[in-house]
Amino acid sequence: MHPYRTHNCGELRHAHVGQEVRVTGWIHRVRDHGGIIFIDLRDHYGITQIVINPEKNIYQDLHHWRIESVVTFTGNVVNRNEDTYNDKLPTGEIEIVAEELVMQSVSDVLPFPVADEMACPEATRLRYRFLELRRENLHRNIELRTSVIADIRRRMTDLGFLEIQTPILTSSSPEGARDFLVPSRLHPGTFYALPQAPQQFKQLLMVAGFDRYFQIAPCFRDEDSRADRSPGEFYQLDLEMSFATQDDVFHAVETVIGGVFRAFSTAAVDETPFQRIAYNDAISRFGCDKPDLRNPLRLIDVTEVFRDSEFNAFAAVVKKGGIVKAIAVKGIVDQSRKFFDDMITFTQSVGGKGLAYIGWKDGRERSPIAKFLTPDALAELRCAGSIDDGDVMFFICDKGKKVCEIGAAVIKELADRLELREANAFRFCWIVDYPMYETEGNSGRIQFSHNPFSMPQGELEALNTLDPLDILAFQYDLVCNGVELSSGAIRNHRPDIMYRAFEIAGYGAEEVDRRFGGLINAFKLGAPPHGGIAPGLDRIIMLLANARNIREIIAFPMNQTAQDLMMGAPSPVTDRQLRELHVQLKLPAKHRKKQSAEQSD
């Protein structure tokens, strides 16, 4: 017999009754029923109930045991009494009557319980992350992550993509977020950078003639933590395709991502092709480029209704170039006065001056602003919002961009408070036709709005003949339930178009060569048209697991201040290590004081 187990703790069934078996696992729970001890033994696969009778010699060893100790039991499989079946466990019809035990590892007192997922300070959970990973929900999330990644690999391979690894030690990027830098020992005074993304390498693979590339790519960015991104590092499904149109990229991604969501969720998933929404349309209707299509609320432009109205609070803003957006909500006219007051307070908290509203009940308008509007204006509002009796229309007025930002927050808040979102569904859309350029703040300088390496729609002719602010790019985002899963683009593979695109943004040819010489020199030696995208794996798994925070689907995450409390990273290094790297520290004053205090302690 195997020294540790003949079966795992999730394997035994009625068919095994009468067999002598051996199982090993962690003591999950212990119950004393009148002298007979019942132990729930847990391993990766499940839980099996162990019965220890008082007459057994091993009974005397019980005082040595603690929860989460690792024990091997040998015994016979028997049926449970019918009234003690546990329908919640796959092994719930049987139990093992223990004859022998071997204590493999004794646990100290736990910093927090494993069997009961009670609240515990995050710092404690991260310091003992290996222990928290024993908890069922987190353990299953990591299993889900493994299965999703394996499924993605299979789907990508089936579509003819080659998995190719790109360098982790590379050069510092002049664009994007802050790099993580690695000092070079062999080349004093120089640094490698951890890749923010494999962007240039995957494009170079296209130039090298590899038609379809993908990678489960680690990416490193020195940026602050967010609920949907771990500080320091994250993983993405990085892919690139040669001789591909935007439609080709969409088809590949929809096949893989749509298939993954259908395979790992019982929720409704959109059929392909996914809905496409132009960027300007998304901003106008949803206030943002990450719309949650489960939310039925939309922004409606009603600026002209108020332009010449007697409601001066809006008319005066409109005459100065502002706009008015409305939100029509069905059947809420009888909500309490507190509800409407709270919505006004919320709107002010996100930068709005207030939130006007009109309700319709019994064929009449209920609102202090209705008296400032003509019957024709009120009829126009009803038509614009498809208003029925019992509905309410909210109004926001300000400068165009600000109205959209406030409106996006308001429609989300209304959906939260009124529970309007479609339940148990994943709703996807592509945001397309991003503007190539935008103006910078007060200076009015033309700058790239998103990815400077995207192909402009209309190519060189558009760059030479159109107003830069009217030029659209072949850029696209994939959004699911209000979460941006990925950004991508058809790349600008022609040096002449690239030089002109950067020229419009104020970069001369010499600066382009200096900053992006490796890529542009490769393009001068025959580059295929190509495009790609990089869906974020962490966010995909977060959605599938219905997790509230990215740390719930990562095995060993950092905390919000980019510290690994379990391993003690980041940590000081020795003077010898610094000398080998030709690095001298120059700490800020507050850090010098802290280090001095720690050394004196």
Q: Are residues 381 and 498 in the same domain?
A: no
Q: Are residues 406 and 445 in the same domain?
A: no
The pLDDT, as a whole number, for residue 175 is 58
E strand or H helix at 485: strand 483-490
Band of the pLDDT at 593, cuts 50, 70, 90? low
Joined tokens for residue 551: 């740390």
Is residue 224 a part of any domain in this protein? yes
**Domain-terminating residue out of 533, 553, 573:** 553
Residue 170's domain comprises 139-278+428-553
Phi-psi group of 23: left, alpha or beta (phi > 0 → left; psi -120 to 50 → alpha; rest → beta): beta
Is residue 5 a part of any domain in this protein? no
- Rounded average pLDDT over 471-476: 98
Q: Are residues 85 and 189 in the same domain?
A: no
- Whether residue 594 is predicted with pLDDT greater than 90 in this model: the reply is no
Q: Are 207 and 529 in contact (CB under 8 A)?
A: no
Q: What is the pLDDT of residues 140-178, one digit of tens each?
A: 999 999 999 999 999 999 999 999 999 999 988 765 678
Q: Are 515 and 201 in contact (CB under 8 A)?
A: no
- Whether residue 474 is predicted with pLDDT greater than 60 in this model: the reply is yes
Q: What is the CATH number of the domain that holds 474?
A: 3.30.930.10
Residue 494 and residue 471: Cα distance in Å, rounded? 17
The pLDDT, as a whole number, for residue 591 is 67
Band of the pLDDT at 227, cuts 50, 70, 90? low
Q: What is the pLDDT of residues 98-142, one digit of tens each?
A: 999 999 999 999 999 999 888 899 999 999 999 999 999 999 999
The pLDDT, as a whole number, for residue 217 is 97
Is residue 163 a part of any domain in this protein? yes
- Whether residue 359 is predicted with pLDDT greater than 90 in this model: the reply is yes
Is residue 326 a part of any domain in this protein? yes
The pLDDT, as a whole number, for residue 443 is 81
Closest CA to 25 of 91, 111, 112: 91
Bridge-partner residues for 52, per DSSP?
37
- Give the angle subtended at the CA of 270 by the CAs of 268 and 276, to the nearest 5°: 150
Instruction: Please tell me what DSSP assigns to residue 332.
Output: -
Closest CA to 304 of 387, 403, 377, 217: 377
Q: What is the pLDDT of residues 434-462, one digit of tens each?
A: 999 999 877 889 999 988 999 999 999 99
Q: What are phi and psi of 26, to 5 degrees?
A: -95, 140
Residue 478 and residue 484: Cα distance in Å, rounded? 6
Q: Are residues 257 and 304 in the same domain?
A: no
Amino acid at 448: F
273 cis-preceded (ω within 30 degrees of 0):
yes
- Give the angle subtended at the CA of 535 by the CAs of 530 and 538, to the nearest 5°: 155
SS3 content of the chain, % helix, strand, coil (to 5): 35, 25, 40
- Whether residue 598 is predicted with pLDDT greater than 60 in this model: the reply is no
Q: Which residues contact 525 (CB under 8 A, 6 or more apart)?
A: 207
Amino acid at 480: C
Band of the pLDDT at 553, cuts 50, 70, 90? very high
The pLDDT, as a whole number, for residue 174 is 62
| Residue 255 exposed, middle or buried by CB count within 10 Å (0-12, 13-18, 19+) | middle
Q: Are residues 206 and 241 in the same domain?
A: yes
- Whether residue 357 is predicted with pLDDT greater than 60 in this model: the reply is yes
Band of the pLDDT at 59, cuts 50, 70, 90? confident
Closest CA to 423 of 296, 597, 237: 296
Is residue 9 a part of any domain in this protein? no
- Rounded average pLDDT over 250-262: 98
Band of the pLDDT at 241, cuts 50, 70, 90? very high
Better pLDDT: 383 or 65: 383
Residue 492 and residue 524: Cα distance in Å, rounded? 12
Question: How many residues does the structure list for the chain?
Answer: 601
Pairing status of strand 232-242 against strand 392-398: unpaired
- Domain total in the chain: 3
The predicted model scores a pTM of 0.91
- Whether residue 244 is predicted with pLDDT greater than 60 in this model: the reply is yes
Joined tokens for residue 327: 């939100």
Q: Are residues 260 and 316 in the same domain?
A: no
Residue 503 and residue 37: Cα distance in Å, rounded? 79
Q: Are residues 417 and 436 in the same domain?
A: no
Is residue 112 a part of any domain in this protein? no
Burial 544-554 (b: 16+ CB within 10 A, else e): bbebebbbbbb
Q: What is the CATH number of the domain that holds 82?
A: 2.40.50.140
Q: Are 152 and 252 in contact (CB under 8 A)?
A: no
Q: Which residues contact 32 (CB under 8 A, 6 or more apart)?
A: 38
Is residue 123 a part of any domain in this protein? no
Q: Are 541 and 141 in contact (CB under 8 A)?
A: yes
Joined tokens for residue 332: 């809420």
